[in-house]
Every structure is written in structure tokens, then in C-alpha cells.
Amino acid sequence: MIDSPSNTAKQHTCASPFSTVVSDNTSGRELFSESQISVFNKTLQNYGEVNFRDAKWVLKPIQSRRPITIDFTRVNFDECDINFIKAYIVTVIVQSPNMNLSTAKRELHNCITFFDFLYSTHVYISNVVSALMHKYVIHIGTLDCPPSTKNSICATAKKALRFAADYNLLRANLIAFDFQFDEGKKLPKRAPEYGVIKKLDRIFFDLATYVPLDMRLMYLLLRLILNRFSEVQNMHLECMVIPEEGIFSVSIPVQKATPLSLPIYISHSRLIDGNVENILFDTLLKQQQYARTNQANAMEYAKDYLFLSSKNPKELLTIDGFNKYLNDMCQKYNIRNHDGTIAHVTSHGFRHIGVTERFNSNLIMSHEIQKEAAHSRIEETLGYGYQSIYDETNRLEELTNYTLSSEFTHKEKCITPRKPLSSKRYDALLQQPYVRIIPAYGACCDMSCSPKYEQCITCDYFVPDNTFLPYFEECILILEEKLNRFYSNPHASKEAIQFNEERLALYKCFVASCAGNANRNEMIG
């Protein structure tokens, strides 16, 4: 006889990828009606010819990507609980349009972990109460996995219970429980070393050096435009047009490929006769010709798309294949970091290096970079602006022109005179634990807090980047003009006036900091 939760004795750890607990479908325990399951099934069919009751779903997003399979064949719960998990996965996919479908696999694994625990405690999901969830958090805390994984597992359980409450499946009115496994202080993700990228540039931009066509084109696009690999991979075969003589435009999607969501395409125009642009134009034409030639034999999901692989023309170039090729090239050409280690570069590193290059150019401002990177928040773009430790060291020298006193800590004000940089300035700055770059603003001397970007301007530990001074001076003029209009309008919003006054004071503070920093450097010099 198949065991039910009430007499199951075997306990399963959350680390197991699939459950082996089996229970019967107790009479009167139906969670969803047939009409509700029919609605879930209709929604699911938007993703391909798949049925809700199938043991294996092959999901096909509208955008051309390799189909993703979600396998329920080894989920050995009773039918009610399997239907609950399936319905939850459908909802997760639909309600998270910016989430890659492969994330659903992680949600499935986390759901299995949750139901393993419920079965081990002989409790159905409808009978879950807060006290039990507190025990669940304690149980997850004992697992041998990173804190981020533990937080993910508990977050899925919380979302699953919220989903159950939405369908009136819980007997308790409110299931409240807290979890927060300490992941430690997260260091910002950094761009690869600029010297490494320059060496790779010399290889991939040199047409005399043999590089497979698809690899070269992917490299050129990722270096010149702030797109993700998945977006470039989804470029259509007819992605290029020549709107006028001497100019070509390339259309690339700027959203992650998502189910039921067509990406927005943005055209990037370039001069054909530019040195770099001509290489891109020539490579694009050759890749188009190659893709057209191999359309007949291409897999269905890859038809009408540009990046048919040079290694296997039936398939699209994959991110794993591209990243492996990058690092094979680093090995082949002995491309090393400043510390002598062989460089390791990924496709996403080009997005980071592209943002930092734009910040440091002093030509493109934060909001313009945000738009090009298709970020929803400026903080996300600024988070991409962290250079490698080695490159940041060079940047810090430009900003400060002095090293901080060795006695300086984040609890003390730095009032001692700065010393001129020694011949070992790079090593000294690298070993200095209390300095970091705040992208687009300056340097921070307090590692005890997280960057707040514009709010950092008023901090005593902030050192402004004078190269951004013209931008803030222009902002001050615009704000002053806007406030004058507000002041002359008796119906102007008090909230708008206050907001703009605060911004004006903040930007004036930056300008004053730049002036103070310049005077201080003159005294040091």
C-alpha cells in the first residue's frame, strides 16, 4: 500500500534533487477543481503543445530559443500535491515576465524540497501554520549549501503559501515566518581588466587573425553595444538595413527573451567607412550569407536567426560555447591579468567593461548609459560601473593624487596631511581597504556602508571625480531655471519646489567638493 503523509516515516533532506516520498490521494482532498485545472492548462498551452497533466513539459517561448523541458516524472507525491506544484510553476512563469524560463526549474526543485519537509512532518499543505514554517527555516539552516540557496528555498515556500492562500487552500488565515540567512557582505561585480580586453580586441578586430565567423561577430557586437548575450543571440537574420548611403543600422532586442513577451528592437546606426564599424559591417554580411546558406538544415527553433553556429550550422551559437572560446583564446595567446594569472572572461564581462568605459569617457552620462543598457533603474546601471581592482587603483590615483594615511579607518576622520604617491602607488592603493570608486561620482573612503551614489556627495568620506564637474554645473543651471519658474507660479506644487531645491543643494555640494578637492591637491603638490 502506498503511504500517506500521516504514516510516512522517512525524512528527506532538501539537498536531494527529487523527492522519493509517495502518498495516496486521500479522498476529499482535491485542491483544484477540473475547471481550475482547465484554466491552468489553457494558460500553459500558450507556451507550446503541452498539457497540464503531462509528466514532462516542453515549453517553447515565442522568441527563438532552445525549448526548455520541465520534468515531473520523478516527482513522486500524490496527484493533489503534484497538481499544486504544477499550478504554482505555471503562475510563476506567467507572473514573472522578465524571468528566464529556466528559473522555473529552480522553483520546481525548491517546491520539492518544501513538500519533502511537509511529508516528513506528516502535514498537508492545507494544514500548514506559522509554527511549522519556523521549524522549516531551522531545518533549511542545517543544510550544507550557501546562504543564498537557503534564502531561495525559503522564498519559494513563502510564495507557494501565498499562492495557496490566493486559492483559499489554507485553513490558517495568515502564514507568517521570517528568514534571512546571512550571505555576508556582497562585493560589487567588477569588469575584467582593461588590459586583458585590449589584448582580446587586437585579436578579434584583426581580420588577418583567424577567428570563426560567429565568434568574431558576437565579440564585436558585445564590445560595441551594451547588450546581453541572449539578446544578441536572438538577432533576426534580416537584422541589418542601409537607410542611406554610408550608414548601416543593426536591430537588436533590448529585453531578455521571455514567454509571451516580444522584445523591443532598437536600431544602432554606424558609419560603414569607420575603421571599427567597417569590420563589423563586413562580418555581419558574411554571417548573414552563412546563415542564409544553412537555413534549410537549421533546427526549427534556429530558423530565420542570424547566429547559426560555425561549429554546427543546425544550431545557434551558445553562451557556453562562446565563453569557452574566449578562455581558450586567453590560453592560446597567453593573455594574463596583472598578477600573472591567465585571464578568465565571460560574455557578461563585456557589458561591465562597456559601462565602465562609458562612465570614464566623460561624454556619456548615467541616464544615457541606463537607456542603452535597458536597465529599469539607474542604480542597476551604476552597479555595473565597477572596474577591476587593478583598473580602479589607477583611477583612484587620478582622483586623489595622494594615498590615505595608514592610520585611517572608517571610524576616524581623515585629518592628517596626505603624502604624495610613491613609486609603489599601485600596490599601496590596492592594499588600502577603505577606498573604492562610486561610479559616475567619485571615490568613497568608508567601506562600512553600501554606495548610495548621489547621497554619497554629502558624506565626509566622499572624494569627488572632477571630470564630472561640467555635468553637475549644467544640472545646476537647469534646476535654477526650473525653480525660478516655480517661484513665479503661485499654483506651483510645494512638493516639486522642495524636491528641486534639495537636488540643487546636492549638486552645489558636489561642485563645492570639487573645488575643495582641487585646492587640497594644490597644497599637496
pLDDT tens digits for range 353-378: 999 998 877 667 777 888 888 888 88
Residue 522 CB contacts under 8 Å (≥ 6 apart), including other chains: none
Q: Stretch 139-154: mean pLDDT, rounded? A: 91
The backbone torsions φ and ψ at residue 270, rounded to the nearest 5 degrees and listed phi first, read: -140, 155
CB atoms within 10 A of CB 470: 10
| Dihedral sign from CA coordinates of 136, 139, 145, 147 | positive
Q: Pick left, alpha or beta for residue 290 (phi over 0 → left; psi -120 to 50 → alpha; otherwise beta).
A: alpha
What is the band of 342 on the pLDDT scale with cuts at 50, 70, 90?
A: very high
Q: Which amino acid, residue 201?
A: D
Place of cell 550571505: 183
User: What is the rounded CA–CA span in Å between residue 211 and residue 283?
Assistant: 11
User: What is the rounded CA–CA span in Å between residue 301 and residue 68?
Assistant: 12
What's the pLDDT score for residue 462? 78
pLDDT digits (tens, 9 = 90+) for 411-462: 343 333 334 334 455 455 545 555 667 776 777 767 667 667 777 888 877 7
What's the pLDDT score for residue 450? 67
Max CA pair span of the chain: 87
Residue 522 scores a pLDDT above 50: no
pLDDT digits (tens, 9 = 90+) for 95-131: 765 556 667 788 999 999 999 999 999 988 988 988 8
Residue 280 scores a pLDDT above 60: yes
Look up residue 192 and give its three cell numbers. 575584467
β-bridge partners, 490: none
What's the pLDDT score for residue 400? 54
Helices (H), 142-193: 147-166
User: What is the rounded CA–CA span in Å between residue 158 and residue 163?
Assistant: 9
What's the pLDDT score for residue 230? 85
Query: Which 8-state DSSP code applies to residue 295?
Result: T
What is the band of 65 on the pLDDT scale with cuts at 50, 70, 90?
A: low
Q: To 10 degrees, what angle do helices 194-204 and 213-224 make?
A: 140
What's the pLDDT score for residue 14? 41
Residue 333 scores a pLDDT above 90: yes
Ranking 7-11, 190-194, 298-302 by mean pLDDT, the lowest is 7-11
| Residue that wins the pLDDT comparison between 371 and 351 | 351
Helix (H, G, I), strand (E, B) or coil at 253: strand
User: What is the rounded CA–CA span in Å between residue 490 and residue 150?
Assistant: 56
Residue 21 scores a pLDDT above 60: no
pLDDT digits (tens, 9 = 90+) for 453-494: 777 888 877 778 777 788 788 888 888 998 998 899 888 888
pLDDT digits (tens, 9 = 90+) for 196-217: 999 999 999 999 999 999 999 9
What's the pLDDT score for residue 258? 46
| Residue that wins the pLDDT comparison between 240 and 449 | 240
Q: Stretch 235-255: mean pLDDT, rounded? A: 87
Query: Which 8-state DSSP code applies to residue 243?
Result: E
| Residue that wins the pLDDT comparison between 66 and 33 | 33
Tell me if 56 sits within 8 A of 35, measured CB to CB: no
Q: Measuring CA to CA, how many Å separate 318 from each of 260, 480, 484?
A: 22, 51, 55
What's the pLDDT score for residue 346? 94
What is the band of 2 on the pLDDT scale with cuts at 50, 70, 90?
A: very low
